Chain A
Amino acid sequence: MADVSVVREIDAAARIAPDAVVGPYCVVGPNVTIGPGSVLERRVVILGQTRIGSGNFFAEGCVLGADPQDLKYRGGRTLLIIGHNNRFGREVTAHIGTEPGGYLTRIGSDNTLSKGAHVAHDCYVDDGVSLGENVLLAGHIHVQTGAVIEDLCGVHHFVTVGRYARVGTRTPVRRDVPPFTDFRSDSRDGPCPPAVAGIHDAGLRNAGLKRDEEKELRFALRELFDDESTLQTKIEQLVNMGVEGEAARLCEFCNRSLQGVYGRSRERFRGKVPPEARKYLPRDTGIDLRRPLA
């Protein structure tokens, strides 16, 4: 905030921490909060009810908090919340939520969003996630902690990308990606339908699991995705064996996806408030999620 000679348009009602930096040609709207140490490089536009935590960096051309690109949005006091220490590459866009979707789009902390990545309305991006260039997250998606989505992936509405999973370049993701898996649409023989192609080893390393837990998880992953046509039976077998920890969570994740619509467990939140909205929507907004939806 120190350099007053910079040309920019900051609404008088915006709340910006004293040591946050707002560069030239930036535009900050009235209902925006920017935490300490966050940097808006140049030509960054922040609109809507957007709350940004500390230590974030926004490169040139980012537009955050604009209206959702969804016909069910008809205005309303919906929010975009961004945590701490995220890096936003050039021309990243993220939209506020919709009322029927739970009022909230949330990006957690320590995420990297590369150039042109898009986080649509009612998405929940957890922590330590990496989105490649031009990754498109359609609405109502949950990207869990540590997931990596490589360049040019398009993710369908209501998909869940599991913890520490990887989605290979240019993969159309139409169903849930199980945690710790490597999900892709190319093989040594050329393009193939998007599917689990193996274990995401780097993800397993990053998760910092105990040795026994990792061993059990690797066993479960091999069992489950050796042949996906027998997934349901394999899940039951593993559960009967009494797997614990991450392996048990993996089974639960896959089970839920199988019960969903087209392999998407979050479809059950279509037209409903998802649990994440109840968890993350700030109390001070005065929004009552128990009220019937518009």
Chain B
Amino acid sequence: MPRISPHATVAETAVLAGDVRVGPFCHIGPEVELGPGCEIGSNVTLVGRTTLGARTQVYPMAVIGEAPPGAAGAGECVLGEANAIREHVTIFAGTDAPTRIGNHNLIMIASQVGAGAALGDHGIFDNCSRIGTGAVVEDYVRMSGFASVADGVRVGAYSFVAGYARVQRDAPPYAMLQGSPVRVRGINTRNLKACGFDEKDIRELKGAFRELFNGRDGKVNRKALRKLEAAGKRNPHVRRLLAAADAVAGDADG
């Protein structure tokens, strides 16, 4: 039997796995589904068509699954396994496409995830970070305090977004992103080492970064990109970087 505080309001049609814990003063709506081992703290609101995977921890005052202001009808929110959603976090439900969050993410205090956004796995989102509506954040991204990703923008895997940075157009993977508007400041060596990349991968990525982002404006150097593409690099990470850089460079705003 789930352990539900007598002071929580749980809709009859909500689906709760056997060992779910729900704290006092929570509100759980009729179309919510909670996987095994979920721990819902006190004063949490889960509404809309919201699914939380196994071992998700939701801390007090978080709100998940509310449709954004002005949206018609309820939205959908799908969270994977073992995410930690900290105090005062808001995750809006997508009404056109569901808001999707992968596994093992840590979303820290007072952060906000917009409707229809898609987060990958193993991300760390520091306090007050903001993911815009329909934005895409790939795996192993780390965002610092007050950082934001604009609506519909994509941030590549393993990138680091520095504090207060505003990502307003698509950003490549493996990058250190800093400033407002954001600039590529180099390669996120520390994160790559922590994620088990070997010296050779890092060296090759560093070389490609140096050529691709050598301008003061932080934009992709198209000439260097074409040269690197022609060189036929075999390293899968470099190829991934080049593909992402190609998409970024092809963008209307550069």
Residues of B within 8 A of A152 (CB): 146
The interface residues of chain A, by DSSP majority, are classed as loop
B43 to A27, Cβ gap below 8 A?
yes
Residue B86 lies at the interface, judged by CB distance under 8 Å to chain A: yes
Task: Give the contacting residue for A61; candidates B61, B127, B163; CB below 8 A.
Answer: B61
Q: Which residue from B5, B25, B60, B106 sits with its C-beta under 8 Å from A63?
A: B60
Which residue of the partner chain A has the closest CB to B88?
A91
User: Are A7 and B7 within 8 A (Cβ)?
Assistant: yes
B24 located at the interface, meaning its Cβ lies under 8 Å from any Cβ of chain A in the complex? yes
B112–chain A nearest beta-carbon distance, Å: 13
A170 to B166, CA, bound (A): 14
Q: Among the listed A27, A91, A116, A170, which residue makes an inter-chain contact with B24, where contact means beta carbons less than 8 Å apart?
A: A27
* Given A27-B23, A91-B61, A152-B146, A134-B42 contact (CB < 8 Å): no
**B88's contact among A7, A47, A61, A170, by CB below 8 Å, is which?**
A61
Q: In the assembled complex, how far is the CB of residue B39 from the closest CB belonging to chain A, in whole angstroms?
A: 11
A9 at the interface (CB under 8 A from B): yes
Judged by DSSP, the binding face of B is loop
Distance in angstroms from A187 CB to nearest chain B CB is: 17
Question: What is the 8 Å Cβ interface bit string for chain A, positions 90-119, against chain B (1 contact, 0 not)?
Answer: 010100000000000000000000001010
Residues of chain B lying within 8 A (CB to CB) of residue A9: 5, 7, 24-25, 42
Q: Complex: how many Å from CA A27 to CA B43? A: 9
Report A46 CB to chain B, min CB distance, Å: 10
**CA of A136 to CA of B126, assembled, Å:** 10
In the complex, are the beta carbons of A69 and B60 less than 8 A apart?
no
Which chain A residues (149-207) contact chain B, with CB distance < 8 Å? 152, 154, 170, 172
A93 touches B146 (CB 8 A): no
**Which residues, 125 to 157 on B, are CB-close (under 8 Å) to A?**
126-128, 144-146
Chain B residues near A7 (CB-CB < 8 A)? 7
Q: Is the CB of B59 within 8 A of A63?
A: yes
Q: Is A266 an interface residue (CB 8 A)?
A: no
B87 at the A interface (CB under 8 A): yes
Taking CB atoms, residues of chain B closer than 8 Å to A170 are 164
User: Per-residue CB proximity of A41-83 to B under 8 Å, as 1/0?
Assistant: 0010101000000000000010100100101000000000000
A61 to B61 CA separation, bound complex (whole angstroms): 7
| Chain A contacts for B110, CB-based, 8 A | 91, 116, 118, 134
> Is B78 positioned at the interface, with any CB of A under 8 Å from its CB?
no
Count of chain A to chain B residue pairs whose CB atoms are closer than 8 Å in the complex: 71
Is there an interface contact between B61 and A45, defined as CB atoms closer than 8 Å?
yes
Compute how far the CA of A66 lies from the CA of B126 in the bound complex, rounded to whole angstroms. Answer: 16
Tell whether A25 is near chain B: CB-to-CB under 8 Å.
Answer: yes
**Which B residues touch A63, using CB under 8 A?**
59-61, 87-88
- The answer to whether the Cβ of B102 comes within 8 Å of any Cβ in the partner chain is no
Which size class do A's interface residues fall under? 20 to 34
Nearest CB to that of B23 among chain A residues? A27
Determine if A43 and B87 form an interchain contact, defined as CB atoms under 8 angstroms apart.
no
Rounded to whole angstroms, the CA-CA distance of A66 and B87 in the bound complex is: 9
Write the B24-61 contact mask toward A (1 if CB under 8 angstroms, else 0): 11000000000000000111000000000000000111
Q: How far is the CA of A40 from the CA of B112 in the complex (A)?
A: 26
Contact of A136 with B25 in the complex, beta carbons under 8 Å = no
Name, among B42, B106, B110, the residue most crowded by chain A CB atoms within 10 Å (CB to CB): B42
**B146 to A, closest residue via Cβ:** A154
Query: Shortest beta-carbon distance, A31 to chain B, in Å?
Result: 16
A residues near B (Cβ < 8 Å) are: 7, 9, 25, 27, 43, 45, 47, 61, 63, 66, 69, 71, 91, 93, 116, 118, 134, 136, 138, 152, 154, 170, 172
If A9-B42, A91-B88, A136-B126 are given as contacts, then 18 extra A-B residue pairs at C-beta distance below 8 Å, sorted by A number, are: A9-B5, A25-B25, A25-B43, A27-B23, A27-B42, A43-B43, A43-B61, A69-B109, A69-B127, A91-B61, A93-B87, A116-B88, A116-B110, A118-B109, A134-B110, A154-B144, A154-B163, A172-B164
B interface residues (Cβ-Cβ under 8 A, vs A): 5, 7, 23-25, 41-43, 59-61, 86-88, 106, 108-110, 126-128, 144-146, 163-164
